[in-house]
């Protein structure tokens, strides 16, 4: 199988990638720096991590990376879609797997060269009027979203992230952070914010750390000009959250932070419905921290009180955090069971086998 996996990266991560690759901005050099840093590695298929010769990986939205490939291949055009199409044709791709379908939707799929026989995209969030109908399969681990795609006429199958083998390098030292939250902060997180504000109150007695990727609207609301507009008040972070906030962390820095944390706090975004199982769940459990997350319908192996802990309200989140911070043995038992569960159910071999099954269904 000649596999091509295309990914995408958040703009806030690009700064880190630029810092990692200040000298070697060749295509292969920058790509290898990205893969080594493990950003988004839970979605990397096994052949990508193993460097399989018939597998090609790229970030189709990274202008520096893609234009480096174009220069190497004497390609004059700098349009990212054209470069991606040229890469696919040059690779003689048979299976195209795209985890950035909002950028490369059905209109792109219809332009793929004839060598491509099967197409799959990952989409685990509501997508409005986005059109993915030209893909042979839409996949994710949120059943309600899969049903929504089926109602729109798409073929859809259950698929899931997989813990990164590199996670075993972290979590073996003293866990100096009592409660860690890593994630976005925006107007789409109002339910999550209530929990963050409540847990932040524990920072008087415990080491509570929030690594926040703040939205542009929140940055504007907190700026000096933004403070002149009362209508932006609800977009600002409460002072108790700002006090313990740190910059966002990604890749190996994320693993390192989780590996230093006793408890990782998680919360779904407002539009997630009842489905649960975002990336942070797999990352927290994979790095051996106790996952404290909001109540809902979780994937197999994520069981409240056995492999993780769930809360139904901000007050219950506080109670559970205090309970497990005060009981090291109970915390380590649940966290240990969690790491074992995701390691068995969601490892790279199992993920790859499931991917092959999905390919056979197209």
Query: Residue 200 pLDDT > 90, yes or no?
Result: yes
pLDDT at 231 over 80: no
DSSP state of 128: T
Residue 258: half-sphere exposure toward Cβ, Cα within 13 Å: 33
Domains 3-162+347-361 and 165-345 fall in the same CATH topology: yes
Contact between 299 and 278 under an 8 Å Cβ cutoff? The reply is no
- For residues 152-172, give the mean pLDDT: 95
> Where is pLDDT greater, at 289 or 190?
289
- Edge-to-edge strand list for the sheet holding 208-214: 245-246, 208-214, 177-185, 261-265, 290-294, 309-311
Interval 6-58: pLDDT, tens: 999 988 898 889 888 777 779 999 999 999 999 999 999 999 999 999 999 99
Can you give the C-alpha Rg of the chain in angstroms? Answer: 21
Identify the CA nearest to 49 among candidates 345, 357, 353, 349. Answer: 349
Q: What is the DSSP string of 15-79?
A: HHHHHH-SS--SHHHHHHHHHHHTTTGGGS-HHHHTT-TTEEEEETT-HHHHHHHHHHTT-----
Name the residue with higher pLDDT: 238 or 138: 138
Residue 262 near residue 321 (C-beta atoms within 8 A): no
Q: According to the model, what pLDDT value does residue 187 have?
A: 66
Cα 50 from chain centroid? 20
| pLDDT for position 179 | 98
Q: What percent of the chain has pLDDT over 90?
A: 79
pLDDT of residue 337: 98
Q: What is the CATH number of domain 165-345?
A: 3.40.50.2000
- Extents of the domains making up the chain: 3-162+347-361, 165-345
Q: Give CA–CA dist 171/96, Å, rounded.
A: 35
| Residue 50 contacts residue 74 (beta carbons within 8 Å) | no
Structure tokens at 256: 């390192």
Top-confidence residue, 272 or 244: 244
Asked if the model's pLDDT at residue 273 lies above 70, the reply is yes
Report the C-alpha gap between 269 and 190 in whole angstroms: 8
Q: Copy the structure tokens of residue 229.
A: 């507009």
Element (H, E) at 337: helix 328-345
The answer to whether the beta carbons of residues 351 and 162 sit under 8 Å apart is yes
* pLDDT, tens digit (0-9, with 9 covering 90-100), for 70-89: 999 999 888 999 999 999 99
Cα(79)–Cα(217) distance, integer angstroms: 29
Average pLDDT, the chain: 92
Q: Is 3.40.50 the CATH number for 3-162+347-361?
A: yes
pLDDT of 327 higher than 70: yes
Q: In the prediction, which pLDDT does 270 show?
A: 56
CA distance 133 to 105: 9
The residues with which 213 forms a beta bridge, in sequence order, are 184
Distance CA 80, CA 123 (A): 21
The single-letter DSSP state of residue 308 is B
């Amino acid at each position: 199988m000649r596999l091509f996996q295309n990914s995408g990266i958040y703009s806030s991560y690009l700064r880190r990638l630029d810092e990692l690759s200040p000298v070697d901005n060749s295509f292969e050099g920058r790509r290898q720096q990205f893969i080594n840093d493990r950003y988004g590695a839970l979605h990397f298929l096994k052949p990508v991590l193993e460097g399989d010769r018939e597998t090609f990986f790229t970030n189709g939205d990274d202008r520096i990376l893609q234009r480096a490939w174009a220069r190497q291949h004497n390609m004059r055009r700098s349009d990212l879609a054209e470069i991606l199409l040229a890469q696919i044709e040059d690779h003689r791709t048979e299976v195209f797997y795209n985890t950035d379908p909002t950028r490369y939707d059905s209109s792109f799929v219809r332009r793929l060269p004839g060598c491509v026989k099967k197409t799959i995209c990952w989409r685990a969030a509501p997508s409005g009027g986005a059109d993915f109908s030209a893909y042979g399969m839409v996949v994710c681990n949120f059943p309600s979203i899969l049903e929504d795609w089926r109602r729109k006429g798409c073929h859809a199958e259950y698929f899931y992230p997989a813990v990164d083998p590199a996670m075993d390098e972290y979590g073996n030292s003293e866990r100096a952070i009592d409660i860690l939250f890593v994630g976005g902060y925006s107007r789409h997180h109002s339910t999550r914010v209530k929990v963050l504000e409540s847990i932040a109150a524990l920072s008087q007695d415990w080491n509570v750390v929030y690594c926040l990727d703040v939205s542009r609207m929140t940055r504007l609301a907190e700026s000096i000009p933004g403070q002149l507009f009362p209508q932006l008040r609800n977009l600002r972070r409460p002072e108790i959250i700002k006090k313990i906030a740190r910059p966002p962390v990604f890749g190996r820095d994320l693993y390192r932070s989780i590996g230093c944390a006793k408890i990782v706090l998680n919360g779904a975004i407002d539009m997630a419905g009842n489905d649960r199982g975002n990336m942070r769940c797999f990352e927290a459990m994979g790095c051996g921290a106790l996952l404290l997350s909001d109540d809902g319908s979780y994937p197999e192996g994520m069981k409240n009180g056995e492999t993780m802990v769930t809360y139904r309200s901000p007050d219950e989140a506080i109670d559970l955090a205090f309970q497990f911070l005060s009981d090291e043995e109970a915390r380590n038992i649940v966290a240990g069971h969690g790491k074992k569960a995701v390691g068995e159910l969601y490892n790279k071999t199992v993920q790859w086998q499931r991917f092959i099954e999905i390919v056979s269904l197209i």
